[in-house]
Amino acid sequence: MEFSEQELFRRQSLEQMRQMGIDPYPAAEYPTNTFSVDIKNQFSDDAPAREVCIAGRIMSRRIMGKASFVELQDSKGRIQLYVSRDDINTEQQPEMYNTIFKKLLDIGDFIGVKGFVFRTQMGEISVHVKELTVLCKALRPLPIVKYKDGVAYDKFDDPELRFRQRYVDLVVNENVKNIFTKRTMVYQSMRNFFNAQNYIEVETPILQSIPGGASARPFITHHNALDIDLYLRIANELYLKRLIVGGFEGVYEFSKNFRNEGMDRMHNPEFTCMEIYVAYKDYNWMMHLTEKMIETICLDVNGATELTIGEQTVSFKTPFKRITMIDSIKEFTGIDITGMDETQLRDACRTLHIEVDNTMGKGKLIDAIFGEKCEHQYIQPTFITDYPLEMSPLCKRHRHHSELTERFELMVNGKELANAYSELNDPIDQLERFQEQLRLSEKGDDEAMFIDLDFIRALEYGMPPTSGMGIGMDRLVMLMTGQTAIQEVLLFPQMKPKNL
């Protein structure tokens, strides 16, 4: 392995430390008692000097002869340290300042310090270091972001490099950690919302013998002991509905799903979806639950219902707009697709200059029209309701229109965020829908659903009227943090392997 000049220098410093009897990677606990932000928030000029013990990375140094200033970064922020030769040189470590601190420590190294808090003549709250401990020697230099007049330059901002080396991105780009702190807040808020209504959080299988619950191409793996192929979960819907059959009245799961499809700014092959199913409810009730939940999360995470996302300002104040899919298509294309057969829909797509192929049935043709001509129009949260039957093989027929289903999708900032149904609980109808999906598969649709006969058997035991909703957690976090690419809200997005 070849090393840069800086890397060679750091390895030499590492060896010198060891020769001096200093372990650059000590195993013992370091007893911190506070964080940088707390030191600043709790400081008072009138109070007695406060003794503190903190740890973190060296992010900058100004060595000034017998005394130096260090910027230390911990998990909460940064604080200045004042390090004096006369204070940290001891009988046990006489060269702690002149050799170890000045010559062997580098930016990026972890140290622990004990001392007292004071305010410098320049007015900056700082820690006067009385004792310094080496906690970890960094062998690679950090790409330090520099600032001039409050403006950053020499930034670590190449997206591909940031996503590949998220560990560096988190250290040097201060805003990135805030995104993932908010991601945790989104999950906590949603859990609190459901738990307050006594819904039960559950776990269902990721390895499945039949990939059900969505129209998507699955990943395939092999189980050696059973000598069978298994699929990584594309959705958890059918398992959660089995639990409603079993007697639970409200269940939800944060489901890690996998779909062997394309990658772009809105799609990652591994993503998180939350799905919830509640007995004795329908999709109208679920619309109210969904909008109230999202408004609550927005307030919990951001303290307001209006957010800036890219160049758009989006309001999550309830109620959200509602419009049927057929009316939406009519509004943006001038075409009424009511009652159209597959041939007529294909002709409509050609008229609208939408690419189609012979594997596409009515459902995919309608979806193509909506996706191309309508979806991007909905910046403010909007429920698109009453989807055609062919688009929704797991959804109950509309109570007033037999060619439609009781389904909605929530569109925000031009993209789907949530999908919900009045769930189909008629086992005979469900089997016929699965069989239609099989016919689409035989035509070449590699995203058509598999037939899950065990799920049919479960429905035959009886499932009460139920409504279910799935929401893309990664997309929700994007909205709550103002991000426009899914990779920004995934700690480790999928990347094509690259030689180190």
- Is there a domain that residue 235 lies in? yes
Per-residue pLDDT of the chain (500 residues; tens, 9 = 90+): 789 999 999 999 999 999 999 999 999 899 999 999 999 999 999 999 999 999 999 999 999 889 999 999 999 999 999 999 999 887 777 788 989 999 999 999 999 999 999 999 999 999 999 999 999 999 999 997 766 676 766 689 999 999 999 999 999 998 999 999 999 999 999 999 999 999 999 999 999 999 888 888 999 999 999 999 999 999 999 999 999 999 999 999 999 999 999 899 999 999 999 999 999 999 999 999 999 999 999 999 999 999 998 889 999 999 999 999 999 999 999 999 998 999 999 999 999 999 998 888 888 899 999 999 999 999 999 999 999 888 888 899 999 998 899 999 999 999 999 999 999 999 999 999 888 888 877 777 777 778 899 999 999 999 999 999 999 999 999 999 999 999 999 999 999 888 76
**CB 253, CB 204: distance < 8 Å:** yes
Integer Cα distance of 245 and 454 in angstroms:
12
If one counts the domains in the chain, the total is: 2
**Does one domain contain both 124 and 186?**
no
Say how many CA atoms lie within 13 Å of 459 toward its Cβ: 19
Domain presence at residue 79: yes
CA–CA distances in Å: residue 341 to residues 390, 400, 442: 11, 20, 20
Q: Which 3-state string (H, E, C) describes 271-303?
A: EEEEEEEEECCCHHHHHHHHHHHHHHHHHHHHC
Q: What is the DSSP letter of 75?
A: S
pLDDT at 283: 98
Omega prior to 48 cis, within 30 of 0 = no
Element (H, E) at 467: strand 466-472
Same domain, 100 and 39: yes
* pLDDT at residue number 153: 65
- Strand, helix or coil for residue 260: coil
- The domain of 395 spans 175-320+380-489
What residues contact 340, with CB distance under 8 A and at least 6 apart?
A: 348, 362
Q: Are residues 191 and 105 in the same domain?
A: no
Q: Is residue 346 situated within a structural domain? A: no
Q: Distance between CA 69 and CA 80 in Å, rounded?
A: 7
Do 282 and 208 sit in the same domain of this protein?
yes
Residue 310 belongs to a domain: yes
Give the pLDDT score at 147. Answer: 66
Are residues 136 and 182 part of one domain? no
- In sequence order, the 6+-apart residues with CB closer than 8 A to the CB of 474 are 268, 271, 272, 486, 489, 490
Q: What is the pTM of this model?
A: 0.91
Please give the pLDDT value at position 488: 97
**Nearest Cα residue to 287 out of 238, 338, 255, 322:** 322
Assess if residue 426 is contained within a domain. Answer: yes
**Same domain? 260 vs 396:** yes
Residue 341 counted as domain residue: no
CA dihedral 224→225→227→230, nearest 10 degrees, is -70
**Looking at the domain assignment, is residue 369 inside a domain?**
no
Task: Indicate which CATH number applies to the domain containing 206.
Answer: 3.30.930.10
Phi, psi for 296 (deg, rounded to 5): -65, -45
**Same domain flag for 230 and 306:** yes
State whether 97 and 209 are in the same domain. Answer: no
Q: CA 366 to CA 344: how far, in whole Å?
A: 11
Are 131 and 220 members of one domain?
no
pLDDT at 500: 65
Q: Are residues 215 and 286 in the same domain?
A: yes
254 and 197 in a single domain? The answer is yes
**Rounded Cα gap, residues 269 and 495, in angstroms:** 10
Tell me how far apart the 2 most distant CA atoms of the chain are, in Å. 91
In a domain, 123, yes or no: yes
Does residue 96 share a domain with residue 28? yes
CATH number of the CATH domain containing 66: 2.40.50.140
Question: Given the structure tokens 């940290």, which residue do they identify?
Answer: 88
Q: What is the pLDDT of residue 150?
A: 67
